[in-house]
Every structure is written in structure tokens, then in C-alpha cells.
Structure 1
Amino acid sequence: MEEVDRILIHSLRQTGTDIDDDVQSIKQFSSELIVEAVVRCLRVIDPTLGNGLSPSLPPGMSARFRVGMSLAQACQDLGYKGESGYQTFLYSNEPEIRSLLMFLVEKLPRESAEALDQPAGKSALLQKAIAAQIKTQLALPWLPPSCRLSLHCKTQSSGPCHSFHAMQLSLPYSLKAPTKKQAKGRCNFVKEYWREYLLPVTSQPSHHASVPASLLENHASELSAAQEWESEWNSQGLLSRLTPEEYCSRKRARLQKRIEEQLRAATQPRPDTHSTTRSTSDLTDLLNSFGGTTTGVDILAKGTRFTHSEKFTFTQEPEKAAQQMAAAASILPSSHQSEEDLKAKQEVEISALQEQLQQLSVQMEEVGGDIRQLTVSIHQVSDELKRRELSNSEKEDTVRVKKQTINLLPDAENNLVKLQSLVEASAKRVVYLASQWEKHRAPLIDEHRRLKELCSNREMESSRKLCEIKDLHDKIRQSAEEAKKKESLYKQLIAEYDTLPKDVSRSAYTMRILEIISNIKKQKEEITKILSDTKELQKEINGLTGKLDRTFAVTDELVFKDAKKDESVRKSYKYLAALHENCTQLIQTIEDTGTIMREIRDLEEQIETEHGKKTVSNLEKILEDYKAIRQENSALAAKIREGQV
């Protein structure tokens, strides 16, 4: 029973029952602990049945009786066949409580059974305690510090509060193996930047209080991106029948093409925009970086963006450039000039350059406006030219038809006959072609229908396979989660195994089990031997009893015949009858003695069972509870009388 009690106590601890380490058997369970264990098990088995029950006994005796009756009814509703009532919980005995707890532990769901297999290590208990504390804190309503009362100050922290201000963080990520030299060099540069120059995460935000908010925001963004990618791949990626890399490259190319179209549309000149030549060149360079093409290919083919901007900035008239160079040479400071004169000359130079810059910007705006007007007029003229070319081509076709008709007028009759013959030949040809088409059309239609049906079958097959792939993905995900759980359980079991003493070997347990089995076999053999000896003795007794009865009947008959004739034989007959009666009484006395001995042993076993049920202590508890109930009744009656008065 010790092993059974240990298993029950371990299972009850896993359900949340607070059992001390000193408790090693069911005999040490108190009424409060029994009620708590039963309620915890009921809540795990059937929450709707156990949530309405309190895991602690109330102080009042009447309330305790009601709690005991409710627990007994709940156990009976679950299918418990044993006797149960309020006395099972308030005046418990060891066998009844053990059978009840064994029934409840067997009724625990499979998930709880799997949880029971997990060892109750220090890390698991710490995690459970942290989760319980977080649940209790989340259940409390949050109040600002200015509205908190003395009651809430105990449950909610009154420390300094910081606003949720998140900042962009730069985190190192693992890079895949590059396939090109440039990509490999770039990967090495990035790794060197991460290793040498990238600040720690705690130092990147401007304020230290923004570190948790930034980390939470970064984690949330990564998690949402991963979820979006997973949903997109399950909904669209699988339908495309591409690998994830090919799907990403195609999506990237499509996005790049869309950006090119938007930028190309933005570079078209409009009357309402005020873009300059430099902005147009910048957009053109940007298009070239994306792989787009513009009209100025001959210009973009030479130089870089820096050379174009430099050429635009410094392309001026030669005379103005010479004057500026002379002015700059004239205002260069000499070695003997003072710093104040130098600063004054520099300010004059800066003001002159600013005026020139303003004049150039005004000129650029004017030139840009002229260019836009000319571009609009060119577009209008090109549209008008295309429209007139289209109308000219239509008129030329009409003139050509009329010209051919006029040429046929001098020989109208012959031409009509020829035209009629041509029409008839064309009609016959059309009929012939129609018949030929019908010959070809029927097998083509059949082939089309067959291919269409085949295509529909393939689509159905592909959709079925797609559903199977999704199911496989789900199974893989579930298997991965189960593998993670089992791996964590394995690590926990390894840690617990390391903490166990190593001086006890498995062979000792094996030898102990073998000894127990051998003892059980010996006991069974002895019991079988005793039963066989008892059967043989019973047969021998039955045989001797029958033989005695037959011998007595024969002797009685012979002696009775002689007793009629001889007086001494008559006395012998009387002695024989008395001897038989005394022997019968002696045998009956021996049988009664055996029966009484058996009854004595049964009574001794019942006495031991009653001692195990704590009958005396339970009677004392019942008397104390009876007195407490009488006191409660008297107090209630006194209150009723006071209320009536």
C-alpha cells in the first residue's frame, strides 16, 4: 500500500493539491486535505461540476455537512459505486478514502495524465508559481497611481511609470552562404559592422526606459511578419507551385516593376508640377538603378550621377566663370591680413554667391516652365498628327475602292457575269470548306472535351494534393511542437536523473522484484498445498464417518438380535448405544469448537478493521460536532427570539 499511496499523493500534487512533504500515506490525510484533494480532482475531471465546490471546509458544522453531501453526490454522478456520504469526508477511514482517490485519479483526463508523468522538479514548480502569480496580477484591475487607494497599493506597484516609447533597433541576423564574390564581400562587411561598430541593444535607444518597449515592438513586428508570411504562403504560395525562394524572387521582381512604372509615370512632365532639370535627372538615375529605360539614353550612358550634377551645377558661361575666378583670386587672403578682414571678405563672398544662386534658381524655374509648355504643345501636335494620318488612311481606302468600281463600269455586263461566277464559286468554296470544317470540327470538339475533362480532373487532383500538403504542414507543425515538448521533458528528466543518488543500481531493484515474485510463488504453492491437504482430510473424514455409520448399523443389528435372548447382551447393547451417542456428541463438540474458532478469527479481523476505521476517534468527533450543532441551534433560536421580541 505504501507504493499505491505514493503514486496517489504524487498525482494529487500534480492536480494542484497542497500536500506537505511529511505526508507519505493516506492515513495521514486530514478532513481538510481530503476535501481539497477531491475538489481539485473534480475540477480537473469536470470543471462544470467542480467549480461550484469549495476546496476548503467552512467553520460551521451545518455548512460542513452540506459540503460533504455535495462532494458525495458529485462522486456518485461521476460513477463511483462505493458507499459515500458526508461521513466519508468528515469521519474518514483509510480504505474508503484510498478507494475513492484511486477512482478519481483513474478518471483524470489523458492530458492531465500526461502532465502527471512530468517530474515535479524545481524549474517546473518555479514556472508554475510564476504563471499563477501573473494570472493573479492580470485578474486585478489597473488603476493610475493618483486613483489608487490603500487597498490597491498592496496589490499594484506604486513605482515610477514610463510611457511606451519604442525606437528602431538594429539587430544582427544570420546570413545565408553567398553564391557570388560581391555578395560574399558584402556579407563579410556586414558581419564586420555587426562585430566592430554595432552598439548593444541596451545602448541604441536614447533613453534606457525605452529598451523594453523597443524590444517588445521589434519582437511583435517580427512575429507579425512571420505570421503574415505563413498565411500568405499557405494561401497563395502553395497555389503557385513554386519554392519559397522562387516565390519571393517573383514577388520582388513584380514589386520592382511596379516601382519602375510609378517612377516612370512620375517623370512625365505635367503643367501642375514644378520639377527642375536636376530632379528629372535624379529620377532618371534612379530608374537606371532599377533597370528602367528613359528617352535620354545617350546622356545617361556617360558618367555617373555625381558627374551629371557637377556638370549641371558648374556649367556656366565662360565669361562669368572667368569673372568669378578673378573675383575669388582678388579676395584671397594674404598672410599679413587680419582675421577680421578675412571674415568680412568671406561674408561678402557668401552673400554674392547666395545672390547668384537665387538668380540661377529663378532662371531654372523660368526655363522649366518654358520646357513644360513646349512639351505640352509637342504632345498636342503629335496627337493631332496621328489623328489626321488615321483619317487620311481611311479616305485613301475609300478612294481606292471607288477607283476600282469606276474602272469596271465600261464593260459592266461581262464584269457582272464574272462577279456572279466568282460569287457562286466563293459560295461553293464556302460550302466545301464548311463541310471540311465539320469533318475536322467533330474530332476537335471531342478532343477539346476530353482535354477539358482531363484538365478538370487534374485540377481536382491538384486541389486534393494541395489539401493533403496543407494537412501535412499542419501535422509537421504539430509534430514539431510535440517534439519541442518532449525535448523539454527529456531535459527535465535528465536534470532530475542527475540529482538522484547514484549509489542505488538497477540490479538491486531487479533482485528485489524477483524476490517478491518468488515469495508470491511460494505463498501460492503453500496455499495450494494446504487446500489439497484440506480436501484429502475432508475426504478421509467423510470416509471414516460413513464407515463408522455402517459399522454401527451392522453392530447394532447383531447385538439387538442377541439382546432379545440374553440379559448380558442387552446391557452391552445399552453401553453400545451410550458410546455411540457420546462419540457423536464429542464429534459435534469438536465441530462446534472449530466453528467458534473461525468466528473468533473473523471477529478479530473485524476488530482490526474497525480499529483502522478510527471508530472511537470518529465517535468522539461526532459527539463534538453534535455539541457544536446544538450550540449553533441554540444561538439561532436565541436570535430568532430576540427578533420576535
Structure 2
Amino acid sequence: MEEVDRILIHSLRQTGTEIGEDVESVKQFSSELIVEAVVRCLRVIDPSLGNGLSPTLPPGMSARFRLGMSLAQACQDLGYKGEIGYQTFLYSSEPEIRSLLMFLVEKLPRASAEASDQPAGKSALLQKAIAAQIRAQLAMPWVPPTCRLPLLRQTQSAGVNGSFHSQALSLPHAPGIGKPPVKEAADYHRDFLLPVTAQPSQHASVPASLLERHALDLSAAQEWENEWNSQGLLTRLTPEGYRSRKRARLQKRIEEQLRAAAQPRQNAQHPTRSGTDLAELLNSFGGANAGGSVLAKGTRFTHTEKFTFTQEPEKSAREMAAAVSAMPSSRQSEEDLLAQQQDELQGLQTQLQQLSLRMEEVDGDMKQLSVSIAQISDELKQRELSNSEKEDTVRVKKQTIDLLPDAENNLAKLQTLVESSAKRVVSLAAQWEKHRAPLIEERRRLKELCSNRELESSRKLSEIKDLHDKIRQSADDAKKKEGLYKQLITEFENLPKDVSRSAYTQRILEIVGNIRKQKEEITKILSDTKDLQKEINSLTGKLDRTFAVTDELVFKDAKKDESVRKSYKYLAALHENCTQLIQTIEDTGTIMREIRDLEEQIETENGKKTVSNLEKILEDYKAIRQENSALAVKIREA
């Protein structure tokens, strides 16, 4: 056990546990040291379990009980199968603590296990303590300043807070694999593009801008990967071909949207149908003057303007004359001038309102006219279709009427023509059957080949997807292993170089040699015990057989001679006494074994420190009663 305790103590020191130099076995561990060792091991094995636990025992007994229960639950979560509870840490026994520490040391990561072979220096312990403290502070959640406890006020200082304000960044990008770089873009990036730190208007916006740009790049890459895996692979195109097709579709959709947006304006500017009928229809509605062209080119506003101002030329002339006559003379005062201007402004506003109303009316009339034009054009198309059908019918009837005067000859010609057509159809059908059979076979073969190719392509597509998943998984594993490799290289460089493993190797070999010798001795003792048991069994059988033969011979002679009868009685008494002696020896051996077992149990119970644990329990009980009484006094005072 001494070698096991030394290995455990060495491993615990490597995890950052402060164990004194005078401690040489687990028996010397106190409750504070046990709690610290378990918490350090939990932090190394699983930081999520150990970072929330304190490595020091709190002063209050209730807090100690809670900490002990938390440690027991954490060890059970790791997979510890032994009996464990708060009493394991507060009222510990040597075997339980040894088995628990051995379990935790075996659960340590490989890097920590390899590092445990190296001696712990003060600088290494200081660096590990600093790293553990930084990890603990990073794992602690952020709390607003008004809700912080004194411990959080020490670790989370209220620094200068700034708003998250980001700006768009311009970054140089590669043209793509196999494409030459554009000279103008390269010159711009080299000569005119500002650095990333100088592009935002404020220096405090640089981190926010970089974070947002990085998030945009990651989301774009993730979206492209999802789209390629879900839709791109099914098209059986290359990524460049899929992008070009998607770009062409987007351009076509934009062009269609632009055409659809510009269509009403074009229809308003260029009527779809022109002619004398349309001109007469518009003239009948009074939509144009006698001297103007109805279908002249121009916008809706120009037509409306002409329509409005041509109907009231006299009124506009009168208003202009009134305005000229109403111009103020030099003798009028400024107030009269302002009043006239206000009147003139009101008149112009009323005129503008009237013009806007007239424009709205003209707009409504134009819409009605466009609807009526569409209806007329539809009716015209339908009539043209009906006229073409009627013309075909009339042409057939005319040809039939022309053939009526010579009906017999025409019927004979028609009959011969029908017969020749039938024969030709039969011959064509026979020829078609000749060509049809190989074509059907060829079609079936091609169809089967196509289905096989589709199955093969679908299988290859699934294989490609699996390969993509494997490649992605391998890339992630490679990144993780590369990060782990860099971390291990850094730790290896930080380790002291003057360490020799020969002493530990020699100690391990000695332990293995002692175990081998003990195993050989145990095997030898077992073989000797088996031999003795066999010898005892053979002697017992021989004794029983000898007694049976002797008993039979003496019993025959005892019937005849009195002296032989006494000898037979002595023989039976001797056999019974020897049997009792053998049974006594066996009972003595059994009692000796029970005595040894009881002595081992006594040693085990002495190792559990039952008396000292009972004293501690009594002291803790008194402390809890004092705490409860103090709390009761506070409650009464409150």
C-alpha cells in the first residue's frame, strides 16, 4: 500500500493539490485535504463538474454537508460504483478514500497522466494554479453590477462599456481556383484600399465590424454548404456550373420583373391597336379635337394637358387679361399688393384643384377605354376564328357542288382512290411493323439501360454524400487533433527538461517484480496445501480400511477368547479417541482462521477511525445546534 499511496500522492500533486512533504500515505489525509484533492481531480477530468465546487471546506456545518453531497453526486456522475456520501469526506476511512482517489486518478486525461510521471516544480505548480484560476473566472457567468456579490465584485470589475456599432468592411478576395487575378482589382487593393482598422469611422467599431463580417462569412459558407448538399448534388453539376446556372436564373427573373413593371407604362405610351375604327370611337367620346391626331405619340400627361387646355381657350384668355388689368400700379400700397397676390394664389390653387380633378376623370376614362379596347380585340379575334372555320366549310361545300354534275365518274374515281389509299395504308402498316419490332426492342433496351444508369447514379450520389460527410468529419477531427497537437507541443515545451524517468521506471519494475514473487509464493502455498489435503485424504482412507480389517479379525477371535474380547474393547476405544482428537484438531484450525479473520476486521475497524469520527460527529452536532439557535434568535429579532 505504501507504493500505491506514493503514486496517488504524486498524481494529486500534479493536479495542483497542496500536499505537505510530511504526508506519505492516505491515512494522514485530513478532511480538508481530501476535499481539495477530489475537487482538483474533478476540475481536471470534467471542468463543468469541478468549476462549481469549492476546494476548501466552508466554516458552517450545513455548508459542509451540502459540499459533501455535491462531491458525492459528482463522483457518481463520473461512474463511481462504491458507496459514497457526505460522510466519505467529512468522516473518512482509509480504504474508502484510497479506492475513491484511485478511481479519480484513473479517470484523469492522458495528458495529465503523462505529466504525472514528471516531478512537480514550484514554477509548474504556480503556472497550473494561474491557469486554473483563469479557467474558473472564465467559467463564471457574467452578472450585472447591481446584482454582484462581493466575490463577483472582485473578479468582475465594472469596465467601460460601449455599444455594438458595426460598419461594412471591404476586404480583398481571391478570384477563385484556376482564374487569373484581375489587374485593376489588385492595383486597387494594393494602392487605395484602406486597412481594416482604418475603414470604420470610429476605432471602437473595429471589433464589432470584424465580428459581424466573420459571422456573415460563416453563415454564407454554411448556407452554401447546405444548399449544395440538398440541391446542388442532385443536379449532377460542378459547383461552378451550379453557380452560373443559378446566376443566369436570377438575371432572367430580374429581367422579367423589370419587364412586368415597365409593361403598363409602355401600354399607356403605345396603344396596342390603331386604326380608323379606334379613331372614330375616340372621336365619338369627344376625347380629341377636330384638328389633332388621336393616336399621336406622347405621354398621358401631354394628352391630358391638350385635352384640358383646348376646351377652354377663351376662359384662360379672360383670366390672363384680368390678371394683366389687375396688376398693381406704383401708387398702390404693399398691403393691396399682398392681398391681390393672395387672391391670385387662391385662384390658381382652385384652378389647380379643378385641373387635378379633370386629370383624374380623364384617367378613369382612359382606363375604361383600355378595357373596352381589350374586349373589342377579343371579340374581333373570336370573329376571325369563326370566319376562318366558315370559309373552310364553304370551300369544302363548293368543291362538293362542283363534283355533282359528273357524280358517277367522280364516285368511281373516289372509290379507286380510296382503294389505293387503303392498299397503301396496309403496305405502310406492314412496313411499319417491320420497323416497329426492332425499335421497340431498342426502346426497351435503352429504357433498361437508362434505369440501370439512374440506379447507378443514385448509388454514386449516395456514396458521394457519404464521402462528403466523411470528409467533413475527417476535417473536423483533423482540426481537433491539430489543436490538441499544438497544445501538447506547448505543454511539452513548458515542461522541465532535466527530468529522468529511470527512477520511476525502476520503481515500477520493482513493484512488478514483488508482485510476481508474491504470486509465485501464493501458487506454491496453494500447491502444498493441495498435496497435504491429498495426503490427509489418503491417510484417512487407509486408516478406515485398516480399522475395518482389524475390527473384523479381532471380532472373530473375541468370540472364542476372553483376552481378545478385552483387546477388541480397547481397539474400539482407541479408534474413538483418535477420531475425537482429529475432530478437535480440525476445530482448532477453524477457530484459528476465525481468530485471524476477526483480527483483520478489528484492524479494518481501527483504520476507519470510528471513535474519532464519533467525536467529530458530536462536535458537528453541537455546532449545528448552535447555528440553529443563532438563526432562531435572528428570526425572533426580525
Q: Does 1:625 align with 2:625?
A: no
In the alignment, residue 5 of structure 1 is paired with which amino acid? L
Structure 2: 5+ residue runs without aligned partners? 117-123, 271-369, 540-545, 547-580
Distance 2:46 2:620 in 1: 31
Q: Any idea what the Cα deviations from partners look like across 1:580-617, whole Å, max 9, x if unmatched?
A: xxxxx9xx99x999x989969985x7776556434453
Q: Any idea what the Cα deviations from partners look like across 1:62-81, whole Å, max 9, x if unmatched?
A: 78678868987998999977
In the alignment, residue 477 of structure 1 is paired with which amino acid? R
User: Structure 1 residues 236 and 72 mapped into 2: Cα distance closer, same or farther (>3 Å)?
Assistant: closer
Question: Any idea what SS the aligned residue of 1:173 has?
Answer: coil
In the alignment, residue 266 of structure 2 is paired with which amino acid? R
Question: Any idea what SS the aligned residue of 2:185 has?
Answer: helix
User: Structure 1 residues 634 and 84 mapped into 2: Cα distance closer, same or farther (>3 Å)?
Assistant: same
Q: Which of residues 193, 218, 224 in structure 1 aligns to 2:219? A: 224
Question: Any idea what SS the aligned residue of 1:238 has?
Answer: helix
Q: What displacement does 1:429 show? A: 4.4
Tell me which moved more, 624-633 or 232-241: 624-633
Taking the TM superposition and a 5 Å limit, the aligned residue runs for 1:57-76 are none
Q: Does 1:238 align with 2:233?
A: yes
Q: Any idea what the Cα deviations from partners look like across 1:47-94, whole Å, max 9, x if unmatched?
A: 999999999877665786788689879989999775556543321022
Q: Which of residues 258, 266, 274 in structure 2 aligns to 1:270? A: 266
Distance 1:123 1:478 in 2: 35
In the alignment, residue 94 of structure 2 is paired with which amino acid? E
Q: Which of residues 488, 497, 504 in structure 2 aligns to 1:493? A: 488
What's 1:5 paired with?
A: 8
Taking the TM superposition and a 5 Å limit, the aligned residue runs for 1:191-590 are 191-256=186-251, 270=266, 404-405=399-400, 407-427=402-422, 429-430=424-425, 433=428, 448=443, 451-452=446-447, 454-505=449-500, 510=505, 513-522=508-517
Question: Any idea what SS the aligned residue of 1:503 has?
Answer: coil
Taking the TM superposition and a 5 Å limit, the aligned residue runs for 1:609-624 are 612-615=607-610, 617-624=612-619
Structure 1: 5+ residue runs without aligned partners? 275-375, 545-549, 551-584
User: Structure 1 residues 8 and 431 mapped into 2: Cα distance closer, same or farther (>3 Å)?
Assistant: farther
In the alignment, residue 204 of structure 1 is paired with which amino acid? Q
Q: Any idea what the Cα deviations from partners look like across 1:609-639, whole Å, max 9, x if unmatched?
A: 5564344533432342354466678889999
User: Structure 1 residues 447 and 115 mapped into 2: Cα distance closer, same or farther (>3 Å)?
Assistant: farther
In the alignment, residue 270 of structure 1 is paired with which amino acid? Q
User: Structure 1 residues 177 and 452 mapped into 2: Cα distance closer, same or farther (>3 Å)?
Assistant: closer
Aligned length: 477
User: Structure 1 residues 618 and 412 mapped into 2: Cα distance closer, same or farther (>3 Å)?
Assistant: same
Is the contact made by 2:8 and 2:102 (CA closer than 8 Å) also made in structure 1? no
Is the contact made by 2:51 and 2:136 (CA closer than 8 Å) also made in structure 1? no
Distance 2:250 2:433 in 1: 48
Q: Any idea what the Cα deviations from partners look like across 1:533-571, whole Å, max 9, x if unmatched?
A: 999999999999xxxxx9xxxxxxxxxxxxxxxxxxxxx
Distance 1:400 1:537 in 2: 133
User: Structure 1 residues 457 and 430 mapped into 2: Cα distance closer, same or farther (>3 Å)?
Assistant: same
Instruction: Provide the aligned C-alpha RMSD in A.
Output: 6.4
Distance 1:467 1:172 in 2: 37
Q: What displacement does 1:226 show? A: 0.7
User: Structure 1 residues 50 and 424 mapped into 2: Cα distance closer, same or farther (>3 Å)?
Assistant: farther
Q: TM-score, normalised by structure 1?
A: 0.54
Q: What displacement does 1:133 show? A: 4.5
Is the contact made by 2:17 and 2:40 (CA closer than 8 Å) also made in structure 1? no
Q: What displacement does 1:238 show? A: 0.8
Q: Does 1:99 align with 2:102?
A: no
In the alignment, residue 229 of structure 1 is paired with which amino acid? W
Distance 1:261 1:70 in 2: 68
Question: Any idea what SS the aligned residue of 1:471 has?
Answer: helix
Distance 2:211 2:76 in 1: 50
Taking the TM superposition and a 5 Å limit, the aligned residue runs for 1:15-54 are 19-20=17-18, 26-27=26-27, 29-31=29-31, 34=34
Question: Any idea what SS the aligned residue of 2:203 has?
Answer: coil
User: Structure 1 residues 68 and 412 mapped into 2: Cα distance closer, same or farther (>3 Å)?
Assistant: same
Distance 1:75 1:499 in 2: 31
What's 1:169 paired with?
A: 169
Q: TM-score, normalised by structure 2?
A: 0.54
User: Structure 1 residues 64 and 391 mapped into 2: Cα distance closer, same or farther (>3 Å)?
Assistant: closer
In the alignment, residue 232 of structure 2 is paired with which amino acid? G
In the alignment, residue 243 of structure 1 is paired with which amino acid? T
Is the contact made by 1:36 and 1:56 (CA closer than 8 Å) also made in structure 2? yes
User: Structure 1 residues 416 and 42 mapped into 2: Cα distance closer, same or farther (>3 Å)?
Assistant: farther
Distance 2:127 2:439 in 1: 74
Q: What displacement does 1:476 show? A: 1.6
User: Structure 1 residues 68 and 224 mapped into 2: Cα distance closer, same or farther (>3 Å)?
Assistant: closer
Question: Any idea what SS the aligned residue of 1:239 has?
Answer: helix
Is the contact made by 1:8 and 1:101 (CA closer than 8 Å) also made in structure 2? no
Is the contact made by 1:65 and 1:86 (CA closer than 8 Å) also made in structure 2? yes
User: Structure 1 residues 130 and 271 mapped into 2: Cα distance closer, same or farther (>3 Å)?
Assistant: farther
In the alignment, residue 423 of structure 1 is paired with which amino acid? V
User: Structure 1 residues 507 and 5 mapped into 2: Cα distance closer, same or farther (>3 Å)?
Assistant: closer
In the alignment, residue 202 of structure 2 is paired with which amino acid? H
Q: Any idea what the Cα deviations from partners look like across 1:148-168, whole Å, max 9, x if unmatched?
A: 689799597755554433222
Q: What displacement does 1:229 show? A: 1.0
Q: Any idea what the Cα deviations from partners look like across 1:391-423, whole Å, max 9, x if unmatched?
A: 998898778656654553442221122213323
Distance 1:459 1:127 in 2: 59
Distance 2:238 2:231 in 1: 12
Is the contact made by 2:39 and 2:54 (CA closer than 8 Å) also made in structure 1? yes
